[in-house]
Amino acid sequence: MGDLDPQLAEAELRRGIEQFNTGQYYHCHDTLEAIWMVASMTEKPFYQGILQIAVGLHHLGNQNWRGAVTLLGEGINRLYGYEPSYRQVHVSQLIDQALDWLSTIQSLGPERVQEAAIAFDQIHRGNGEAAPSAAPNPGTFPTIPRIHIDPDTPLPTT
């Protein structure tokens, strides 16, 4: 892995995952981009795929339909080569969850991105508040993507 110490890279990956899982999508992007910039060519698509999904979700939260669709799609496509898991990340599960949101927002279209963004925010906060009239019941939307770790999966030696 380029000039980055493997232990530091692993710690930064964990930090990026924590940021992703707590909805700090743009911070996750920044953290993983720093790793991606010095990663080996074999690993670059892995980090870029996760950070693109994070930015896609950030765009969704900002009601940017085109940005959400584009980045979710690109991130998903970059991760296919790392299924079912890589660096202890359950890649297949992340792809499935991101695909659920991509399909949902594509079917709603840009004119209804606000509905998806409101539901996404409500589901993410989990506050149990009733959905505003502008958004359908958040229960009709997919779950929020989370990155799950399997500590029993061996790390690659690259």
Assign 3 a pLDDT band (cuts: 50, 70, 90): low
The CATH classification of domain 6-140, taken from the options 1.10.3450.10, 1.10.287.130, 1.25.50.10, 3.40.50.970 = 1.10.3450.10
Give the pTM. Answer: 0.87
Residue 47 has pLDDT above 70, yes or no: yes
Q: Between 144 and 76, name the one with better pLDDT.
A: 76
User: Looking at residues 25-44, what average pLDDT do you find?
Assistant: 95
Assign 108 a pLDDT band (cuts: 50, 70, 90): very high
Q: Which residue is it, tokens 């029993």?
A: 152
Q: 141 to each of 97, 113, 126, 137, 145, how far by Cα in Å?
A: 11, 13, 13, 8, 12
Q: Give the pLDDT confidence score for residue 129 in this predicted structure.
A: 43
Residue 137 has pLDDT above 60, yes or no: no
